[in-house]
């Protein structure tokens, strides 16, 4: 079994665009002999830790 790992830079909230990009990556991997293509979790809706940016409002909270 040949496994391909997909590297993505999804756009937050752009499910249709992210899906289209994933489909293209699947086609490319398949053409190169991959039986399975693995994507990062949450890559379809685009969430990742840096996606929402820095929350300046949280810095003002003193949690002590």
In a domain, 21, yes or no: yes
Asked, for residue 39, whether it belongs to a domain, the answer is: yes
Number of domains in the chain: 1
Residue at 62 is within a domain: no
**Predicted local distance difference test score (pLDDT) of residue 5:** 98
Domain-located, residue 61: no
pLDDT tens, residue by residue, 3-50: 999 999 898 889 999 999 999 999 999 999 999 999 999 899 887 666
Q: Is 11 a member of any domain?
A: yes
Within a domain: residue 58? no
Question: What local confidence, expressed as pLDDT, does residue 18 receive?
Answer: 95
- Owning domain of residue 42: 3-50
The answer as to whether 46 is a domain residue is yes
pLDDT of residue 49: 66
Query: What secondary structure, in 3-state letters, does the chain show?
Result: CCEEECCCCCCCCCHHHHHHHHHHHHHHHHHCCCCEEECCCCCCCCCCCCCCCCCHHHHCCCCC
């Amino acid at each position: 079994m040949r496994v391909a790992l997909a590297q993505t830079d999804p756009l937050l909230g752009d499910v249709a665009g992210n899906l289209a990009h994933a489909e293209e990556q699947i086609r490319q991997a398949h053409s190169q002999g991959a039986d399975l293509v693995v994507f990062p979790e949450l890559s379809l809706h685009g969430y990742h830790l840096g996606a929402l940016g820095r929350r300046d409002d949280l810095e003002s909270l003193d949690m002590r």
